[in-house]
Amino acid sequence: MIMQYFRKNFLLVLLLGLILLIAIPSAFATSVDSNLTSSSSSNVVLESNISHVESNINSPNIDINESHVESSVNSPNINIDDSLDVNDNKILNSNNSINSDNSNLVVKNNLLKDSSNGIIYVSLNGSDTNGDGSLDNPYATIKYALTKVNNTCNVIKLFNGVYTEYGFNLNNDVSIIGESQNGTIIDGNKTNSIFVVNSNLVLKSLTLRNANSRIYGAAVIVKSGATLNVDNCSFINNTASGSAGIDNSGTVLVNNSYFEGNTASSHDGGAVSGVSESFTTILNSVFVNNTAYRDGGAIKADNSTLLIVGSKFVNNIASGYADTLGGAVYVYGADAKVYNSSFIGNSVVNGTGAAIYAESSYFSQAFLDVSNCVAVNNSVNNDYDYPDYSAVFDYVYAYGNLTYSLISDNKAPYALANASSVLNIDYNWWGNTQDNKTFDSNLLYDISDPNYWLILRIKY
């Protein structure tokens, strides 16, 4: 009797156990699938384009292994992909405006949309005399088309060709849209500035080249209170005393554009300058071989607000003056933020800040936040007896951060120099490839070693 009871209960227990063994993995699998689905819907996806890169935070008490680090820029030894999703909520808010943390910068981008009820067409084969500005019967010149712009007809579309025109003073809102970026060209003939903007101007899918000015601003001058939106455009071989591509005293948004061979012949900002409490935003753009006689080979921000995201600075140079600052970017009394961008082969001659230089002015504090950036092969070339604190990044009486960035293979006495600035420089890779190695203090001038830094390992 007892044995039969035991057998019955044993079989019952065994049956219940089998049911649980089947149910638990199924429930666990359901839970895992749910978590994966939730994770895949996240806006943050980190992927590595370097073969099996491991990044370790190395400190006396912390050892954190972070695989799948996104970091890639084209250089002889490193391949970095700095693509940018412009829908990232760090950049665009719910109102489709550009913003950044700790900044008052808000730039509307709705001007990139055609808002008019009428479009004016221009073709080199058109006629200002017999044309009516229609698709089938276009005008011949931008100059004449601008006389036809009004509140209900403020979009000018250009067919491909080289339009040798310049000296436009714009007081009405207008969008000028080319057929293609490389095929639609407005040429300043090395004679004058092309556009002076007193209103709202949109430039899209065209090239502005060979503009010339003996003062600031060759291709485009943006006056205080005016707005310029640039999308998918090129600025090539423009020359001015300063700010050869864009001289901004208002609000400028540049997206997906290209600046090459622009020259500030006697002052600052080879390609772009933002001054006088202006707002300048640069997204997904490339700056190559731009030159400033003084400061800011590519960009100058003076007492203004600057945001750079997802952009590349290659072989820009500040040279010619006895004390040049900022081979790629010069920040003076400005609020500047630079994210997910790369600095390759930029240089200063007889100065400092081969990649970026930031300094407070007499009137305003400079703030420079650099994160998720790459700086390789930048150089300082001092032909004269310049002080030996020259560096790739230089902060002078400024506040800021330099974090989560790769700084390596540069030709300068220091990677970072500091003069009475308050900085956070944790979580960067400074070229370290060995575990448990003390930080190389020779990389820094007048600043304490970081609390945490990254170790890069490459597995073959």
Q: Is position 267 within any domain?
A: yes
Residues 12 and 131 in one domain: no
Residues 226 and 349 in one domain: yes
Residues 20 and 124 in one domain: no
> Could you give the CA distance from residue 386 to residue 402 in angstroms, rounded to a whole number?
25
> Could you give the CA distance from residue 139 to residue 68 in angstroms, rounded to a whole number?
55
Residues 337 and 425 in one domain: yes
Q: Which domain holds residue 115?
A: 97-458
pLDDT tens digits, 73-103: 333 333 333 343 433 433 444 444 444 444 4
pTM: predicted TM-score of the whole model, two decimal places: 0.77
Residues 406 and 277 in one domain: yes
Most confidently modeled range among 100-109, 335-344, 414-423: 335-344
In DSSP terms, which residues pair with 337 in a beta bridge?
307, 369
> Could you give the CA distance from residue 344 to residue 341 in angstroms, rounded to a whole number?
10
Stretch (H or E) spanning 458: strand 453-458
Residues 312 and 442 in one domain: yes
- Residue 194: pLDDT band (50, 70, 90) is very high
Q: Is position 213 within any domain?
A: yes
Q: Are 82 and 50 in contact (CB under 8 A)?
A: no
> Could you give the CA distance from residue 59 to residue 317 in angstroms, rounded to a whole number?
36
Q: Is position 123 within any domain?
A: yes
Q: Is position 84 within any domain?
A: no
36 φ/ψ angles, rounded to the nearest 5 degrees:
-65, -40
Q: Is position 83 within any domain?
A: no
Residue-wise burial string across 282-314, b where 16 or more C-beta atoms lie within 10 A, e elsewhere = bbbbbbbbbbbbbbbbbbbbbbbbbbbbbbbbb
**Cα dihedral 165→169→172→174 (10° resolution):** 30
Is residue 52's pLDDT more than 90? no
Residues 252 and 119 in one domain: yes
In 296-448, which ranges are continuous DSSP H helix?
none
Is residue 267's pLDDT more than 80? yes
Q: What count of other Cβ atoms lies within 10 Å of the Cβ of residue 111?
A: 18
Q: Is position 146 within any domain?
A: yes
Residue 242's pLDDT is 85
Q: What count of other Cβ atoms lies within 10 Å of the Cβ of residue 390?
A: 22
Is the sign of the CA dihedral 139, 145, 147, 152 positive or negative?
positive
Per the model's pLDDT, the better-predicted residue between 14 and 247 turns out to be: 247
Q: Is position 298 within any domain?
A: yes
Q: Is position 160 within any domain?
A: yes
In angstroms, the Cα distances linking 193 to 43, 82, 187, 391 are: 42, 33, 10, 35
Q: How many domains are contained in the chain? A: 2
